[in-house]
């Protein structure tokens, strides 16, 4: 249960980073909602890796590079699921606000992320 709570906290941190950067980029740059979201996801992924590695999961015993590669693999896959759903929502529901689409897509990819990180990244060798 502790892992799930910490994972939810990491997700909350990632969500705040994602939403904050997405909002800032939409307000301050000419980037549209699609490119801005790619940048925001990258920053959110870095923030969640740092938290998950320190507080959520036990260290895997792998090298930092191997663990980082595995984390990145799961994270990129989850991000593709997240971004795909985000894009599909915006394209199929044009009146939907980008932040609302982000919330829905983020929740959907969270389950995949938890199992990927707990079973593939941070599981002891």
Task: Give backbone dihedrals phi and psi of 124, rounded to 5 degrees, phi first.
Answer: -60, 150
Whole-angstrom distance, CA of residue 61 vs CA of residue 82: 29
Count how many domains the chain has.
1
Whole-angstrom distance, CA of residue 107 vs CA of residue 125: 29
Whole-angstrom distance, CA of residue 55 vs CA of residue 69: 19
Tokens 């260290």, located at residue: 59
Tokens encoding 47 = 């923030």
Mean pLDDT of the chain: 89
| pTM score | 0.72
Convert the pLDDT of each residue in 29-82 to its tens digit.
999 998 998 899 889 888 988 898 888 887 777 888 888 888 889 988 998 998
Q: Single out the residue of 50, 56, 33 nearest to residue 105, CA to CA.
A: 33
Residue 59 belongs to domain spanning: 1-122
Whole-number pLDDT of residue 25: 97
């Amino acid at each position: 249960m502790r892992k799930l709570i910490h994972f939810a906290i990491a997700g909350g941190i990632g969500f705040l980073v994602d939403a904050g950067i997405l909002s800032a980029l939409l307000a301050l740059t000419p980037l549209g909602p699609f490119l801005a979201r790619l940048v925001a996801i990258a920053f959110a992924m870095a923030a969640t890796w740092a938290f998950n590695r320190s507080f959520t999961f036990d260290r895997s015993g792998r090298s930092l590079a191997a663990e980082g590669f595995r984390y990145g693999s799961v994270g990129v896959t989850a991000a593709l699921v997240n971004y795909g759903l985000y894009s599909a929502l915006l394209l199929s529901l044009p009146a939907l606000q980008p932040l609302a689409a982000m919330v829905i897509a983020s929740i959907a990819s969270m389950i995949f992320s938890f199992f990927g990180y707990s079973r593939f990244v941070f599981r002891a060798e």
